[in-house]
Amino acid sequence: MTVSHLPTLALDFAQTPHDIRNALILAIGVSLEKHSSEILLVNTRDLANMDTRDSLYDRVKLTEQRIQTMRESCGILVEITDPLDERYVQVFETHEDLHLRSVPVPLGVVACIYEARPNVTLDLAILCIKSGNVCVLKGGSQATHTNAYLRDLIQNILAEY
């Protein structure tokens, strides 16, 4: 996918129903569980390039428990009310008889640069899915292989839907 596709993709994704967005998040959680051993294996490639005394080492390191926590966050997120729900529309009237409406809408494309933590790749992706946004993520070079694997895992789920 190229950057030139983002505006069209963002518009399409903004209109994706809440139940589909939740299904995507749950499918990502299932995929994390299914591929946890591969994720851990890929993560060892990133850790092999680091000094164990490096302060970022623990941030890059994934464990079964950390992957379980990532999976659980998918389940927790789907329980949250749709942030794009029409019930959040607010109507205001000014003293000049001007009628204003505040309507929840996705930002469109969310870009984020972050360091070291591969779990942030998942967190940002599922938060963007929940809120109907497309994301462009740039994780720290310390977790290149793990982030790439997680990206592919998420993109495969998106392609299925």
Query: Per-residue pLDDT tens for 45-91?
Result: 999 999 999 999 999 999 999 999 999 999 999 999 999 887 777 88
Parent domain of 70: 3-79+105-160
User: Two tokens at 129?
Assistant: 């899915």
CA–CA dist 134, 132 (Å, integer): 7
| Residues whose CB falls within 8 Å of the CB of residue 129, separated by 6 or more in sequence, listed in order | 21, 24, 25, 28
Residue 19 is assigned to a structural domain of this protein = yes
Count how many domains the chain has.
1
Tell whether pTM > 0.85: yes
Residue 9 is assigned to a structural domain of this protein = yes
Give the CATH number of the domain where residue 125 resides.
3.40.605.10
Residue 34 is assigned to a structural domain of this protein = yes
Helix boundaries (H) for the chain: 6-14, 18-34, 36-48, 57-60, 64-78, 118-130, 144-160
